[in-house]
Amino acid sequence: MVEFVRSNNLFLRVQETGRAEADFGRYDVRRVVRTIYVLFSGAEIPIAKEGQETMDLADLSTPLPEWFTEEDLDVYAKLYEKTGFRYPLRMPYRAIRKIPTGGLDAKFQVPVFIVMGEKDYAFKFPGLEAALRGGAMDNFMPDLKVTYIPEGCHFVQEQFPEQVNELLLAFLKDHLTCHRSRDVRESPPLFQQDPTLEQSRQAAMAQEIEHTHLPIRGINLHVAQVGRGELGTVVFLHGFPEIWYSWRHQMLAVAAAGYRAVAPDCRGYGLSDQPPEQEEEEASCVWDDLVADVAFLVGMDFGAMPAYEFALQHPERTRGVVCLGVPFSPVPFSFFHTMPEGFYLLRWGEPGRAEADFGRYDVRRVVRTIYVLFSGAEIPIAKEGQEIMDLADLSTPLPEWFTEEDLDAYAKLYEKSGFRYPLQMPYRSLHKMPQRLDAKFQVPVLMVMGEKDYAFKLPGIEAALRGGAMESFMPDLKIPYIPEGSHFVQEQLPEQVNELLLAFLKDHPVAA
């Protein structure tokens, strides 16, 4: 093996101390990773001609492989910006000579499974295909299986994850270990959890989320989705100042459990189009077209209102409703006579006032202030001479569960959408809520409430939740409380919310 590597120009270049560093150093990290993925996903061995370096073999006009997205590239680039390339060049390329040579009598005592893409450039290394197809490896590995994926490249696990996963799971199943040398409960973890690695894992999982735009009633609606949906579909509806990203933890959890998670950006939010300024169509009409089949609806904040309304209008297309932060109300919310003038709902309902308030700061600062204020247990109320944005400044820390990276994600999307429509819907449309005094839900409802949600202190909310008023409209209602939960409980305590959500889905299977 060492001999065929030494005869190859690619490995000679990177083995030469300083050469790859100088080659890579001409470009930023993202460009280097991009070029390597372009080159090494091909069927030909990357070999530079005289006067060329390896990075010269592809430029930005060469497209990325179709299975490798710009978002994937961002993840890799971010991590290599942290580590650099010093050690990755040393190990493996400058350590190949250290491969032990005394293994001619090697005999593997465990099963071995090799998955090989037939369009992997490595197939063209001298002797490699012969070793794989000619049976030479069987001498060392009595229990060997080699599977070929016809269109597979060197990065076959990223290119064809479903095929590789199927092969991997079958191998694991065929060699399931039933014996443990000691009780696993007494075994310390092999590795301590590295927060950086955990963040990378979550980032990689997030790349599984697909993004698309659906034309619905004249609006291109941005939709994030993940999961195959063997057990059904779960539609997530966000509130303010949220976007699809607010459901990131729940989307991955339900997808892993076998459901298809669908989270749109509401009209006028995030990556969705802006509705016309003088639009009259009710927002609930959009969900009529989005939810085409039987689904669970999960709503947060004002997203709970269309979830409730859809379930009432279309019980045959609703398997169950889960809502956070806002209980069902049979009449439009009105706080004019029960709350002071500085109450945020009254201030933001006044055309132009919130726009002037928000306009004093950049978008990131506005979103930051809202998350700081609305994650607390007190209702945001401005005093005379104050505006809502004055209630917190940059010295007030973000909630510990809301990172600067989360804030960046929100700010980026609100820089696109602005706040015009988010202020119109919901704050200037609450009077349009339908009266449902005779409402009777025909589907099960789960209402998850954080006990430190400021909404608990809004007039009538706690009484509606704890006093049994909602049960008269919802015969199959369950209300679990999360003691430390804030208004953004699904982001704050995702594991607890996910556990409740998954249990509800399991208790109400779509096929039932």
The model's pLDDT over 241-255, given as tens digits with 9 standing for 90+, comes to 899 999 999 999 999
**Which one of 174, 196, 221 terminates a domain?**
174
Task: For 487-505, write each residue's pLDDT tens digit.
Answer: 999 999 999 999 999 999 9
Task: For 381-410, write each residue's pLDDT tens digit.
Answer: 999 999 999 999 889 999 999 999 999 999
Task: For 438-471, write each residue's pLDDT tens digit.
Answer: 889 999 999 999 999 998 888 888 888 888 888 8
Q: Judge if 157 and 276 occupy the same domain.
A: no
179, part of any domain: no
Give me the pLDDT at residue 290, please.
Answer: 64
Q: Judge if 119 and 253 occupy the same domain.
A: no
216, part of any domain: yes
Q: Judge if 380 and 300 occupy the same domain.
A: yes
195, part of any domain: no
243, part of any domain: yes
Domain count of the chain? 3
pLDDT over 90 at 51, yes or no: no
Kindly list the catalytic residues.
301, 427, 487
183, part of any domain: no
Q: What would the two tokens of residue 285 be?
A: 């009409």
CATH classification of the domain holding 497: 3.40.50.1820
DSSP string, 173-233: HHT-----SS-GGGPPPSSPPPHHHHHHHHHHHHTT-EEEEEEETTEEEEEEEES--TT-E
318 by DSSP, 3-state: which? Answer: strand
pTM above 0.85, yes or no: no
138, part of any domain: yes
Q: Judge if 152 and 218 occupy the same domain.
A: no
Task: For 107-141, write each residue's pLDDT tens digit.
Answer: 899 999 999 999 999 888 888 888 888 888 888 88
Q: Judge if 331 and 267 occupy the same domain.
A: yes
Percent of the chain whose predicted confidence (pLDDT) is above 90: 41
Q: Judge if 89 and 128 occupy the same domain.
A: no
491 by DSSP, 3-state: which? Answer: helix
Q: What would the two tokens of residue 171 be?
A: 């191998």
Q: Judge if 83 and 116 occupy the same domain.
A: no
Angle, in degrees to the nearest 10, between helices 494-507 and 248-256: 40
Task: For 136-178, write each residue's pLDDT tens digit.
Answer: 888 888 999 999 998 999 999 999 998 898 899 888 888 865 4
Domain range for 121:
106-174
Q: Judge if 263 and 410 occupy the same domain.
A: yes
pLDDT over 80 at 433, yes or no: no
Task: For 205-226, write each residue's pLDDT tens digit.
Answer: 455 899 999 888 888 999 999 9
Q: Judge if 318 and 390 occupy the same domain.
A: yes
Q: Judge if 431 and 477 occupy the same domain.
A: yes
Question: How far is 34 from 38, CA to CA, in rounded Å?
Answer: 6
Q: Judge if 43 and 133 occupy the same domain.
A: no
184, part of any domain: no
181, part of any domain: no
292 falls in which pLDDT band (50, 70, 90)? low
**Which one of 174, 192, 224 terminates a domain?**
174
**Which one of 62, 97, 132 terminates a domain?**
97
Q: Judge if 129 and 80 occupy the same domain.
A: no
Q: Residue 305 carries which side chain, given as an amino acid letter?
A: M
